[in-house]
Amino acid sequence: MLSLVIDNFTSNKKSNNSAQLPYKNDYDVTINLKVLIRMLRILRENNHINRTNLAGKTGLNYNTCIKYIKFLKLFCWANVTDDGTNFVFITKGGISFIETLSLF
Question: Per-residue confidence of the chain (104 residues) as pLDDT tens digits?
Answer: 444 444 444 444 444 433 343 445 555 668 899 999 999 999 999 989 999 999 999 999 999 999 999 999 999 999 999 888 889 999 999 999 999 988 87
Amino acid identity at 32 = N
Asked whether residue 75 is assigned to any structural domain, the reply reads yes
Asked whether residue 14 is assigned to any structural domain, the reply reads no
* pLDDT recorded at residue 25: 57
Number of structural domains (the chain) is: 1
Asked whether residue 77 is assigned to any structural domain, the reply reads yes
Q: Give the separation between CA 9 and CA 25, rounded to whole angstroms.
A: 12
Asked whether residue 45 is assigned to any structural domain, the reply reads yes
Asked whether residue 6 is assigned to any structural domain, the reply reads no
Give the CATH number of the domain where residue 63 resides: 1.10.10.10
* pLDDT recorded at residue 69: 95
- Confirm whether pTM is higher than 0.85: no
Residue 82 lies in domain: 29-102
Asked whether residue 24 is assigned to any structural domain, the reply reads no
Asked whether residue 18 is assigned to any structural domain, the reply reads no
Q: How far is CA 31 from each of CA 41, 64, 72, rounded to the nearest angstrom?
A: 16, 10, 10
